[in-house]
Amino acid sequence: MLLPTRGHTEIYVVLGSQSLHRGAGYGRAPGPQVRPGVRLGIDVGSVRIGVARSDPAGVLASPLRTVRRGAGDLAELARITAEAAPVEVVVGLAIGLRGTEGKAAAEGRAFAAALAERLAPVPVRLIDERFTTVVAHAALRERGLNSRARRGAVDQAAAAVVLQGALDAERATGQPAGQLVGTGSSAT
């Protein structure tokens, strides 16, 4: 299932039995390769944290689970990370439509810093997450899920969109996407 997005990019994320791909280069001859290894994607919300996992080849992101935000969330994410043994963890950064960072981005950066400290030596990267929740809601709505059913799955689906974007960006450039937590460069 393909969804049009800003700039006519296609979105492709595994959602249950259906799939969605993100990346304008889908279907073309391969360019730069993605580093091998499982990656985790994290979509941090005020109530829930969505978690997604890639395949070992770094081709496809799939929703994994939802973690309740609050006491014990970092410990649960550390447990999930230890179980998955990823080469890196990608955390969505809530950048505004005009490219500015507000309160949500500051909270996301603080969460990513705490997570990076907890997960060391596993690298944690921040990546622009604009429109991921909107895309996830649309894909779940297209699957026929009502708003109550979507609530439980949208965070995982948004994490999968974030992670797929990072995988596709690395495949296009040959470089890891986003900002390594603790560096001064901006998220992409």
Helices (H), the chain: 73-84, 103-119, 132-142, 147-173
153 falls within a domain? yes
Query: Can you tell me the mean pLDDT for 96-107?
Result: 79
Residue 1 pLDDT more than 50? Answer: no
Of the candidates 169, 185, 188, 138, the residue with the CA atom closest to the CA atom of residue 39: 169
Least confident window among 30-34, 91-95, 108-112, 126-130: 30-34
Other Cβ atoms closer than 10 A to 87: 17
pTM of the full predicted structure?
0.75
188 falls within a domain? no
More confident of the two residues 4 and 78: 78
146 falls within a domain? yes
More confident of the two residues 187 and 60: 60
Give the C-alpha separation, 131 to 22, whole Å: 12
Q: What is the CATH number of the domain that holds 166?
A: 3.30.420.140
Query: What pLDDT does 46 receive?
Result: 86
Query: What pLDDT does 148 receive?
Result: 62
134 falls within a domain? yes
- Average pLDDT of the chain? 78
| Number of domains composing the chain | 1
185 falls within a domain? no
Of the candidates 50, 88, 41, 91, the residue with the CA atom closest to the CA atom of residue 68: 50
The residue range of the domain holding 116 is 3-180
Residue 11 pLDDT more than 60? Answer: no
9 falls within a domain? yes
Q: Token digits for 108?
A: 């996301």
Give the C-alpha separation, 141 to 135, whole Å: 10
Contact assessment for residue 107 and residue 144, using Cβ atoms and an 8 Å cutoff: no
119 falls within a domain? yes
Query: Can you tell me the mean pLDDT for 107-117?
Result: 94
DSSP-derived letter for residue 175 is S
Task: Give 49-84 pLDDT, tens digit per residue.
Answer: 999 999 999 999 999 999 999 999 999 999 999 999
Task: Give 128-141 pLDDT, tens digit per residue.
Answer: 876 565 565 566 56
**In the chain, % of residues over pLDDT 70:** 66
Query: Can you tell me the mean pLDDT for 159-166?
Result: 93
> Starting from the edge strand earliest in sequence, which strands make up the sheet with 39-44, in order?
61-68, 48-54, 39-44, 88-93, 124-128, 179-180
